[in-house]
């Protein structure tokens, strides 16, 4: 996962979501600013994907594995 705080999005590689989409790498908005700020590049997360006419975003984000925080890993 990578994080773009300025745009309020994360880029996530996700597995197939039954009936919705195949496995892919894509950009999702994260609308909750404190949650966005808590995420780091390389974190592994689970989340609910919410879709409406305005687009898709993530809610209920849970970090299941924090990235190795050592410098130079990004
Ligand atoms: Cu997707």
Distance (Å) from CA 42 to ligand 1 centroid: 18
SS3 68: coil
Distance (Å) from CA 38 to ligand 1 centroid: 22
End-to-end CA, the chain? 11
What is the pTM (predicted TM-score) of this model? 0.82
Does 73 fall in a domain? no
The pLDDT assigned to 64 comes to 96
The pLDDT assigned to 55 comes to 84
By residue range, what is the domain housing residue 14? 2-65
What's the CA gap between 61 and 63, in Å, rounded? 7
The pLDDT assigned to 56 comes to 86
Distance (Å) from CA 71 to ligand 1 centroid: 29
Does 18 fall in a domain? yes
Sign of the CA dihedral with 56 first, then 61, 65, and 66 last: positive
Distance (Å) from CA 30 to ligand 1 centroid: 14
Distance (Å) from CA 26 to ligand 1 centroid: 5
Does 17 fall in a domain? yes
Please tell me the total count of domains within the chain: 1
Does 31 fall in a domain? yes
pLDDT in tens, the chain (74 residues): 999 999 999 999 999 989 988 999 999 999 999 999 999 999 999 999 998 998 889 999 999 999 976 666 55
């Amino acid at each position: 996962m990578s994080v773009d705080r300025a745009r309020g999005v994360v880029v996530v590689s996700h597995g197939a979501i039954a009936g919705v989409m195949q496995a892919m790498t894509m950009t999702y908005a994260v609308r909750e600013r404190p949650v966005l700020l808590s995420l780091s590049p390389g974190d592994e997360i689970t989340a609910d994907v919410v879709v409406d006419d305005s687009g898709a975003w993530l809610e209920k984000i849970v970090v299941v594995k924090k990235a190795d925080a050592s410098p130079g890993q990004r």
